[in-house]
Amino acid sequence: MKKKGSTLQCTANALRRHMFCGTHAKAKTSEIWKDIREKDIRIIKCQSIARRWLVVRRLRLGGPGVLNRKNLANDEELVTFTESGRQHPFSYFGFIENDKTWWFDFDTLWIWSLKSVEPTNPYTRTPLTIEVRKRLREAWAYRIHHIMSVPPDPRDAEERIRSRWIMLHQTFVDNGFVDVSLNQLTRLPKSSHIAMWRFLRDDSPITSYLAAHMLAFSIVNAGPTMYIINSLRNLMMVVTLQKEPYETVFAVMSAIYRC
């Protein structure tokens, strides 16, 4: 220690064949800094590991080319015209198609993917694979559940409802539920949406908390159209709570068919 009562680490060199510096070697009592700060060191290490894990996960969601920008199919971003070398890795999203790596700003591809129930590569018009669609939703969910910025919704209410339902429709299809109508939820009255969220509250422990919140605030007290917008938004959050959401999707589909 530097002085009595101090918790700072002594920076002086230790004497040869001794654990302490000259000053602390003469002291009546001396303590090894790492022993008394062991708890703090463990906390710092845990924080470091957690931060590294979060960074690695975000980079993984970016896909091929997120760090190595060589041999990319497109040199500029489709909408922002950002050069490939200047695209921030946390907003980068790439995928391989026919041995070529195509990349986009996440916002660009997310908005584009909500225009059709069968989204395609904007450059080649080739349908995006299930793996790409799942990773795209996982990247959106990461932002939502970590309270980060996400692409803005369409201003028009009808278009907002359509884009949200398209995302849900894609999720249902990608998890094996192919017999889904595009208007299956958008034409239901408020009473049916309330019934659906009651089923989700009672049937699924994964969705029970959010379902209870929906019944308390976002559905019951919402006006015309807004109850559908709020319901679809929260369904998007529900089906992205897990990386492999089959059980949750099954619970949602079951609730939809019963409401």
132-168: pLDDT as tens digits: 999 999 999 999 888 788 898 899 999 999 999 999 9
- 63-104 per-position pLDDT tens digit: 999 999 999 999 999 999 999 999 999 999 999 999 999 999
Q: Could you tell me if 141 and 203 lie in one domain? A: no
Q: Could you tell me if 82 and 3 lie in one domain? A: no
What are the start-end ranges of the H helices in the chain? 22-25, 33-36, 38-62, 106-113, 130-145, 157-174, 190-203, 208-213, 226-239, 246-258
The β-bridge partners of 102 are 95
- 137-146 per-position pLDDT tens digit: 999 999 988 8
pLDDT for the residue 2:
47
Q: Could you tell me if 232 and 206 lie in one domain? A: yes
Q: Could you tell me if 55 and 138 lie in one domain? A: yes
**Does residue 151 form part of some domain?**
no
Question: Token pair for residue 102?
Answer: 């195509």
Question: Token pair for residue 216?
Answer: 């308390």
132: Cβ contacts below 8 Å, ≥ 6 apart: 63, 95
**Does residue 251 form part of some domain?**
yes
pLDDT for the residue 1:
43
Domain tally for the chain? 3
Q: Could you tell me if 236 and 171 lie in one domain? A: yes
Q: Could you tell me if 21 and 59 lie in one domain? A: no
Q: Could you tell me if 106 and 63 lie in one domain? A: yes
Mean pLDDT across the stretch 225-250? 90
Q: How close are the terminal C-alpha atoms of the chain, in Å?
A: 68
The domain containing residue 137 runs over which residues?
48-145
> Which string of b and e fits 158-169 if b means at least 16 CB within 10 Å?
eebbbbbbbbbb
Given CA atoms 214, 215, 217, 222 in this order, what sign does their dihedral have?
positive
- 1-54 per-position pLDDT tens digit: 445 556 666 777 776 666 667 666 666 666 665 665 555 656 566 666 667 767
The SS3 of residue 84 is: helix
Q: Could you tell me if 174 and 253 lie in one domain? A: yes
The last residue of one of the domains, among 122, 145, 168, is 145
**Does residue 229 form part of some domain?**
yes
How far apart CA 35 and CA 43 sit, in angstroms, is 14
